[in-house]
Amino acid sequence: MKTAKNKVESFVERMQGIRELSNKILKSPYRDGIFPEHCDIVIIGGGAMGSSIAYWLKQRAPNAITVTVIEKDPSVNQNILSWGQYAEASTCLSVGGLRQQFSLEENIKMSLFGAEFLRNINQHLSVEGHDPPDVQFTPCGYLFLASEKGAQQLEENAKLQKKLGAKNELLTPVKLKQKFPWINTDGIALGCHGLENEGWFDPWSLLYAFKRKALSLGVEYIDGEAIGFEFKKMPDLLMDGMEPGSYEGVDKVLVRTESGEIRSVKFGIVIIAAGPYSAKVARMARIGTGDGMLSIPLPVEPRKRYVFCINCKNGPGLNTPLTIDPSGTYFRREGLAGNYICGRSPLPEEEPSVDNLDVDHDFFDKNIWPVLASRVPAFEAVKVKNAWGGYYEYNTYDENGIVGPHPYYINMYIATGFSGHGIQHAPAVGRGVMEMILDGGFETIDLTRMSFDRLIMDRPLIEENIV
């Protein structure tokens, strides 16, 4: 089993491999040895979402467009054996779940595509001369448990999932006990078990594969932090609710590089995919601080979540799915030797500070372990072996992703706010953003309802199965 430190060290090795590949391809930190001062498309955020978008754009139009990704300092910090910002990236600290058990059609379809993408990952992300990508997918499924109160919703969700092509089974308490004898079904009215294309994978490996492929296709990565935009008056552009001649657009982003130098990148299109820090980037573009359509903020903020690694000698076996109790407490197997990882989102009044990624071990003792021990009696005797914290890119409006163009800026797109399920939807969202930019609209999965416009019209898109 990889502990949190082992995972960081492993990721450092992979990122060093990416830098070696980058140097081999570019012969310097930047293509042709020149800082990319202009590009067709700039993406702010180099996690799985940003790197997926970069990959899809360049694989579709390898010679027609230039793409630059800005990511906060991914250089090795020898003191903490981490890869700079990636040590706090939502991608890398994710549990790496993949499921079709959602209540919204868009999320189900994106997960179905995500499973297809991972099955055929070699066709998408292999790089000549390098080992094929291995995301270590474990197809053990998800098991959602519902009380009497939630049984009807679970059943409705299962019907929609099946209609869209997912494979699952509804299990009564008796059938649950027969299939999973380790479970205590007290208080459970129904369970839904995913039979295909569900389980978990290594998010570090997926990010590595996306970034490596993007680099090989010619994407530029800038090691730096976006700190502001430059605005340009566009007097010929007319917009409802604005005085003629008053429109100001964005065409440059200011970047603080590793050396502390401030440089600018001129772009045709900008995509905000900065995970939990997307709202901070949006505010730099006056989103949430301006007038009219600019008065509506991007409602995404970091929320800290804990993951605990426990050991139980006589716990559930190899076929154990990622199990989610009605309380929201979850667990899954982590390798062999009786290791599991578990967690639970805090109640609103329990939200921890996001000033750092320190772990509150009392949260496990008070809020997680009692539920685990009740639901799985074998977990009465467990030992916490390790723990880490990570940030959700939490959408405070409706806990769902925001994908598509900003209604004010004619050259800005957004892909953020997935509140815990962004890593599994990164392949589909990347493809969708590519379609919007290059085709003028969604061609595969229609994500129109996930646009920023729903904030203006106050039409929340509620996903019932948030974990």
Are the beta carbons of 92 and 84 closer than 8 angstroms?
A: no
**pLDDT value at position 3?**
45
Tens place of pLDDT per residue across the chain (467 aa): 444 445 445 544 554 555 455 444 443 456 666 899 999 999 999 999 999 999 999 999 999 999 999 998 564 222 222 333 444 444 445 688 999 999 999 999 999 999 999 999 999 999 999 999 999 999 999 999 999 999 999 999 999 999 999 999 999 999 999 999 999 999 999 999 999 999 999 998 999 999 999 999 999 999 999 999 999 999 888 887 778 888 999 999 999 998 899 999 999 999 999 999 999 999 999 999 998 899 999 999 999 999 999 999 999 998 899 999 999 999 999 988 899 999 999 999 999 999 999 999 999 999 999 999 999 999 999 999 999 998 999 999 999 999 999 999 999 999 999 988 999 999 999 999 999 999 999 999 999 999 999 999 999 999 987 76
CATH architecture assignment, domain 137-194+303-392: 2-Layer Sandwich (3.30)
Do the two domains 33-136+198-299+396-466 and 137-194+303-392 of this chain adopt the same fold? no
Distances in whole angstroms, Cα of residue 429 to Cα of each of 57, 372, 411, 448: 12, 34, 18, 12
Which residues are CB-contacts of 305 (< 8 A; sequence separation ≥ 6)? Answer: 343, 345, 389, 390, 391, 392, 420
User: Which H, E and C letters describe 178-209, residue by residue?
Assistant: HHCCCCCCCCCCEEEEECCCCEECCHHHHHHH
Instruction: Give the other-Cβ count within 10 Å of 163's Cβ.
Output: 10
Direct distance between the N- and C-terminal alpha carbons of the chain, in angstroms, rounded to an integer:
24
Instruction: Give the position of tokens 């009392």.
Output: 362
Structural fold of domain 33-136+198-299+396-466: FAD/NAD(P)-binding domain (3.50.50)
Enumerate the domain spans of the chain.
33-136+198-299+396-466, 137-194+303-392
Are the beta carbons of 109 and 428 closer than 8 angstroms?
A: yes
Rounded Cα gap, residues 430 and 428, in angstroms: 5
pTM over 0.85, yes/no: yes
